[in-house]
Structure 1
Amino acid sequence: MAGPDKGSEAPDFELPRDGGGTLRLSELRGKPVVLYFYPKDDTSGCTAQALDFSARKADFDEIGVAVIGMSPDSRKSHEKFKTKHELSIDLVSDPDKKVLETYGVWVEKSMYGRKYMGVERTTFLIAPDGQIAEVWRKVKVPGHVETVLEAARAL
């Protein structure tokens, strides 16, 4: 499944968030949202990406942009990850992978000839009206946050 693309409505969801409670995408309507999907808490690329987003959180806050990271890891895993690395961004948990599937980021991957299902590192920039303004698929972590921040400033 390809998932939503630029110009389409961002599918709504309500999922458990770190720190308790849930986060519903539609409740953020009226402000831009960076929704990024990553494979696993506390792995090298995912940690680097979370640290990059956290390091620039003040810049996103300044322009009124919410930053949300999502993976299939549990809320408890997110909380440990967030505490260990002093992350300042919101993390939501999709253990059933329903939202990951809806956004087309739960895909077949291959490593050393072995096929398995996993999260394709993808970022969606959602405009205040709920439309997807930009999509970055198969994200390479270095420099990505700056690219997303530039696009968010242009909204």
Structure 2
Amino acid sequence: MIELNTNFQLESTNGKIVSLEDFKGKYLVLYFYPRDNTKGCTIEANEFSEKYLEFEKLDAEVVGISKDTIKSHLRFKEKENIPFDLLADPERAVHKQYEVLKAAKMYGKDVIKTIRSTFVFDKDGNLIKEFRDVKPSNHAEEVLEYIKSL
């Protein structure tokens, strides 16, 4: 496991600036996804939404993070009925911190892409599990099973 500086401060769809500290006392599932309203990201958000009550019963909070703006996140949350908060990282500072960016080519152009990744923190705010370069389908179930095993 990589030693990461895991703390952050980002704007949330709950209208506040949130940090890792705000989730102490609960497990935290922090998942990075490329973009609101895209096929894979919608699948992933919907699966985390469907399992959200199960996460809550295990004392776990789910939070999504992408480079999209709060305005975009709010539309995405409303459209897809996402019950958890989404964090905006338009500068991708936290993406860099968590090492979830990679150079790629898209239509012949150099781009920086988000590597779909999930990080699980214990109730004291310690990083205990990393899921990197995941597929959107069935990932929420994989994370849920991991938390059940704790």
Q: TM-score, normalised by structure 2?
A: 0.93
For structure 2, the residue ranges without an aligned partner over 5 or more in a row are none
Instruction: Indicate the residue corresponding to 1:33 in structure 2.
Output: 28
Correspondent of 1:106 among 86, 97, 101: 101
Relative to structure 1, is the Cα distance of residues 140 and 23 closer, same or farther in structure 2, using a 3 angstrom cutoff? Answer: same
Secondary structure of 1:115's counterpart equals: strand
Instruction: Map residues 23-62 of structure 1 onto 2, 5 A cutoff.
Output: 23-62=18-57
CA distance in 1 between partners of 2:60 and 2:104 (Å)? 31
CA contact 2:4–2:97 (8 Å) conserved in 1: no
Q: Is the 8 A contact 1:105 1:121 kept in 2?
A: yes
* Segment of structure 1 superposing worse, 20-29 or 96-105: 20-29
> Shift of the alpha carbon at 1:143?
1.3
8 Å contact kept, 1:10–1:126: no
The corresponding residue for 1:79 is: 74
Task: Give the aligned partner of residue 110 of structure 2.
Answer: 115
Q: Which runs of 5 or more structure 1 residues have no equivalent in the other structure?
A: none
Q: 2:137 aligns with which of 136, 142, 147?
A: 142
Pairs aligned (count): 150
Q: Write the letter of the residue equivalent to 1:81.
A: F
Two-structure CA RMSD over aligned residues (Å): 1.5
State the match for 2:63 in structure 1. 68
Which residue of the other structure, out of 4, 8, 17, is the alignment partner of 2:12? 17
Normalization by structure 1: what TM-score?
A: 0.90
Contact map agreement 1:33 1:66 (CA 8 A) in 2: yes
